[in-house]
A and B are shown apart, each in its own frame.
Chain A
Amino acid sequence: MSPLLSGTGLVRNYGATPALRGIDFAVGEGEIVAVTGPSGCGKSTLLHCLSGILRVDAGTVTYRDQDIGLWSEAARSRLRRTEFGVLFQFGQLVPELTAVENVALPLLLAGSGRREARRTALDWLDRLGVAELAEQRPGAISGGQQQRCATARALVTEPRVLFADEPTGALDVLTGEQVLGQIVRVAREQGTAVVLVTHEARVAAYADREVALRDGVVDPTGLGLGVAG
């Protein structure tokens, strides 16, 4: 059975700087995979390429047996409001909208009516334990609460794949643990696959398996042994 999402021979450069130098990656249904490595190894770039936010310069990204690299920017954007969920370290909640509006945003963009989207959003906020913050703006709540709202938003469309890039990077240990625990719990309940980018071993320990990167390639040893550069 072919994996849900896979990338083969992925290459991506930023101008003259290579970020990914030929990476093979695969994640199956309901699997949690951690992508680890030191800073600058290309983990975030890999995440952006797999989720269709960035186009690869070479290689193919296959989702459900379709090459999404061939899709238009609009089509790939639409993926993010249906089958993919994204959760970043910062900067994804719209500061001028309330928490519930933020969570409902992907649904609204996909064409849902306001009342229905709002109901679903409130339900998700409740599942993540922040229902009482529904009418607050992101600027008025703490970092941990913001990340929980962002998690709700990433999961509100019941995506097949959740892309999380250092979701607990800005949080203290206990708050981060709570957020991670909730992500893992919901992912297991819904059968959502998770691609979790982190540089911390304790966060990677929440995953079923680990893919270590170093300098744009996969590092099977995890310690940079036998990898040039």
Chain B
Amino acid sequence: MKTATLARLAVAGNRTDVLRTVLTALSALLATVAMLCAATVLSITGWADRYSVTLLVEPGLRPGVAATLILVSLPVLALAGQCIRLGAPARDRRLAAIRLAGATPGEGVLIATAETAVASLLGSVAGLVAYLVARAAIGDQHTLPTDVLPPAPVIAFLVLLVPALAAAIGALLMRRVIVTPLGVVRRVRKRGPRPWPGLLIAVGLAMFASPFQEHLPVHLPHWLPHSKNMTYVLLGGGVLLTMAGVVLGVGWISHTAGQLLRRYGRGPATLLAGQRLITDPWNGSRTMAALLAAVIAGSVALGYRANLATTFRYYDLDNQIMGYPYGRGMSAGAEPSFYFNAIRLVMVAVGLSAAVAAAGLLIALVESIVARRRAYASLTATGVPRRTLSAAILWQTLTPLVPALLLAMAAGDALLRLVPTHYDLGRSYRECLADNDALAHCHTPAALHLPNVLNVPVPWAELSLLGAGALLAVLVAVGVGVLVLRSSTDLEELRVG
């Protein structure tokens, strides 16, 4: 097949296909901008005093900022790849007709992913343009690194990476869809997803715990190097594996939730919801996964903030016990406000990711409603009340979501529980006595009206807020979806050819 033919077949489409192309391009644009910003941050060399944002000044902190930016771009990329399922029924019929006319299976997948790739490429180029324009517009300031440009090969690589990734994700999502000349068949799993991701979570937690072995029975094997880099690898790897485990375990959670609904639910709404979950446990799970990853990151950040706050207080109290005057003794590397600003940045990123994930959920929901609109319309025409259908959608979305959210928050909490959670002030006093420092003037904790042990509190309030926020975002998405259902069950839909 000639390239011109491929191009023509890839862009052939109706309104929904145009919408899909626009959304894919938009997601690619955002992802590219985020990645270019990350590359810019990484391109700053040395101690960059000229910026007022401390996060950008220190060379050790910049990788963290870049990593956050890249992490934000991941849900957006997932959104771009997920867009390939928008308007899928019409597109699948089109592919079936093209297969009937003589296209091979490989050519069919090529046509489908070509559309995603082309749309993403347009988006990433537009992202590059937006980035350059914004750079010029912001001008020469001292807060944002507008004077630094990543090297050209890196820019080119990023602009090409985004469409490549989007197409790869799209191709992956198409692997279960078999387009035969007689129509589209989705390969149905005989058994549901297995709970092996639980194992991933356990391994991830173990990896995260191993640097803190003095508190736990987990010990690093002797042959592994005990270096600072190793610690970072274990910490980072542990978090990632835990996140991966929660994300991948969502399929099993949905499937099991479906089985429970079907067995114990009464009424048509739960029956509908349960069966949908069983037949296609991964349907809403992809966007839910992004949401869960954001929630885990948020839990870890909140826990870390509580830890930091306690640590700073510990430093202060320890200094008091030691009798050091202000300005001496233990302290952190910089002003506390610096650390808290960094955490605030992470929380903003988490909020953005959650919003993007909720948007993805909305898109998936709308798409599945619109695809079934004729079925819904005829159900309504035969007398099924709309509220039953709305209830089915609510059940279908929330039943796996609530346990999954709880699991995500628990995983995040477990991660932060593994870090030292209490500080022994009594020990500080004993150390003070043992030190025999001339400048020290040791006090007992009791004399200062302090407890013997300083516990790191679990930030229940903030965690609940995080969970509730995620739940609220999903409810908003479902609410909008139900509104779409209302318009999709109009009897006009029965007449649409």
Contact = CB atoms under 8 A, between A and B. Distances in A.
- Tell me, yes or no, whether A and B come into direct contact in the complex with CB atoms closer than 8 A: yes
Interface of A: 48, 53-54, 73-74, 77-82, 86, 88, 91-97, 101, 105-106, 108-114, 139, 153
A114 B5 contact: yes
B100 interface: yes
Chain A CB within 10 A, most for which of B2, B96, B101: B101
Given A53-B182, A96-B12, A81 B4 contact: no
Given A77-B102, A109-B101, A153-B101, A96 B13 contact: yes
A76 to B, nearest CB: 9
Given A101-B8, A114-B4, A109 B94 contact: no
B497 A110 contact: no
A109 B107 CA distance: 9
A112 B182 CA distance: 25
A53 B181 contact: yes
18 contacts: A53-B181, A74-B105, A77-B99, A77-B102, A77-B103, A77-B104, A77-B105, A86-B181, A94-B94, A95-B93, A96-B13, A96-B94, A105-B98, A106-B101, A109-B5, A109-B102, A109-B107, A111-B1
A78 B2 CA distance: 15
B105 A80 contact: no
B94 to A, nearest CB: 5
Interface string B54-86: 000000000000000000000000000000000
Contacts of B106: 74
A165 to B, nearest CB: 10
Contacts of B14: 95-96
Contacts of B1: 108-109, 111
A70 to B, nearest CB: 16
A105 B101 contact: yes
B97 A110 contact: no
B17 interface: yes
Nearest to B100: A92
Given A78-B102, A80-B101, 5 more contacts: A73-B104, A81-B101, A92-B100, A94-B94, A108-B5
Contacts of B182: 48, 53-54
Nearest to B98: A94
Nearest to B183: A91
Interface string B7-32: 01000111001000000000000000
B17 A74 contact: no
Contacts of B497: 139
